[in-house]
Amino acid sequence: RFHGEGYEEGYAEGSHVGVVEGRRYGSLHGAKMGSEIGCYLGFALTWQCLLQKCMDEKNSKKIRALDSLIGMIQKFPYEDPTYDKLQEDLEKIRGKFKQVCSMLNIQSDFRIGTERSSLTF
């Protein structure tokens, strides 16, 4: 009897602590992902505006790459944490961002840490 009661109490306490820890973990990592994607979108929109001022063939390719990046970000499922290809799509966005930076001849370094988060060019 005591064994069964102890098990039930332990299971209930463990479940509660697990939910709290999972919520905290999800909030932290969701905020990091949102910050990263937000920086990519701001970067892409800014460069899109800058490049549209002088349209030539070189800038046309850059603008198409920027449009592709913006489209990928807009299609990203922010509201669905159970989306099975979340990490895969995030890696594609990161890859496209690196491609755009290469086309623009910009060194990028996106870091998120406890002491600071930055996007440097």
Q: Which domain holds residue 41?
A: 1-102
User: What tens-digit pLDDT sequence spans the chain (121 residues)?
Assistant: 788 888 888 888 889 888 899 889 888 888 898 899 999 999 999 999 988 877 777 788 899 999 999 999 999 987 887 888 888 999 999 999 999 999 998 887 655 554 555 555 4
Q: Does residue 119 form part of some domain?
A: no
pTM attached to this predicted model: 0.73
112: in domain: no
In a domain, 33, yes or no: yes
Asked whether the CA dihedral 9, 14, 15, 16 is positive or negative, the reply is: positive
Helices 86-103 and 57-75: angle between axes, nearest 10 degrees: 160
- Return d(Cα 115, Cα 121) in angstroms, integer: 19
Which residues touch 119 (CB under 8 Å, ≥6 apart)?
39, 43, 108, 109, 110
Radius of gyration for the alpha carbons in the chain, expressed in angstroms and rounded: 21
Tell whether 20 is covered by a domain: yes
Q: 95 lies in a domain? A: yes
Residue 121 lies in a domain: no
Total structural domains in the chain? Answer: 1
| 111 inside domain | no
Residue 115 counted as domain residue? no
Of 28, 46, 26, give the one whose Cα is nearest residue 38.
46
